[in-house]
Amino acid sequence: MELRHIRYFLAVAEERHFTRAAQRLGIGQPPLSHQIKDLEAEVGTPLFHRIPQGAELTDAGRAFAERVRPIPAIVADAVSAARRAAAGETGSIRVGFTGSAAFNPRVPQAIRIYRRRFPDVELSLAEHNSIGLVEGLKNGSLDVAFLRPDAVDKRDLRLFHLADEPLIAALASARMPHGEPISLSQLAHDPFILTPRALGPTLFDATLEGCRRAGFEPVLGQSAPQVASVLALVAAELGAALVPESMREASFKGVTYHDLEGDSPMVALALATRADERSPTVAAFVAEARFPSEPDAA
């Protein structure tokens, strides 16, 4: 029994006439009658009384119609659901991000526009350092992650470059109350507050490299596990820090931000997925993050 048999049967049952049903279906009346006879043979009993005025359902036909009437709509709904899933319009996605990446406008923009376009996808967010995000991708607890790619294990990952950011200096307001540009060498005697390299290798390495290029070995001060706690320690006057330029958006009381004169150290922002990722939902998110489908008005 095929879906077309159900459709043909229901058309005759509703029209009570083979010729009118054939016209409605866009087929000839003889082929329709033949298909109904095949259906009756498969069911094992007549479903219609053929009468001069058309066709009437038998008792068996009425019982059959009651049970098969929802089937075309159920199949149409299933087809629609399958097509939406294949287009990445339904399902769920788990998105990770680093504390500093969250302040880059590309990250909230991507999430905002994606949710507007795919409101039926369940989206969950998790913050971690880049190494933790890579671990989450590889163990399957995350589907996609915004991270700093320079010093992480890239095996089994696919990376999509989004931006390069210069580093800027974050200083205690009491140390330098105005946000004018400074040279990195001016901080040669300041202790640098850093996330431990095991947790945040990108900013750690970029800070050391920038200081060495400026002609001095940095004094390593108190460590902090996240960029927010780095800024808290800067505000507490425990030292200076180099942070991505987008961190200016973090208006932290007691902290001023300063461009660096000359060639500033740079850090990259990338979107990462598993190399063997095949989910249409993830593919749609990656596409929106890389090439937004609509202007972002927010």
What's the distance, CA 155 to chain centroid?
21
> Cβ(184)–Cβ(211) under 8 Å?
yes
Tokens 């509703």, residue?
A: 14
> Cβ(217)–Cβ(207) under 8 Å?
no
Cα distance between residue 178 and residue 181, in whole Å: 9
Q: What is the CATH number of domain 91-163+268-290?
A: 3.40.190.10
pTM of the prediction? 0.75
Q: Helix (H, G, I), strand (E, B), or coil: what is residue 135?
A: helix
Walk along the chain (298 residues) and give the pLDDT tens digit of each residue. Answer: 888 899 999 999 999 999 999 999 999 999 999 999 999 999 999 999 998 888 999 999 999 999 999 999 889 888 888 888 887 788 899 999 998 888 899 999 999 999 999 999 999 999 998 889 999 999 999 999 999 988 788 899 999 999 999 999 999 999 888 889 999 999 999 999 998 888 888 889 999 999 999 999 999 999 998 888 999 999 999 999 999 999 888 888 999 999 999 888 999 999 999 999 999 999 999 999 998 776 554 5
As assigned by CATH, the class of the 165-266 domain is alpha beta
Q: What is the CATH number of domain 3-69?
A: 1.10.10.10
Residue-range domain boundaries for the chain: 3-69, 91-163+268-290, 165-266
Own/partner pairs for 172-179, CB < 8 Å, 24+ apart?
172/234, 172/235, 172/236, 172/237, 172/240, 172/254, 172/255, 172/256, 173/235, 173/254, 173/255, 173/256, 174/237, 174/254, 175/237, 175/240, 176/256, 176/258, 177/256, 178/256, 179/256, 179/257, 179/258
Tokens read off for 205: 């390495």
Tokens 């945040």, residue?
A: 200
CA dihedral 176, 180, 184, 187 (to 10 degrees): -10
Element (H, E) at 170: strand 157-172
Domains 3-69 and 165-266 share a fold: no
Tokens read off for 228: 């927010």
Tokens read off for 279: 């989910």
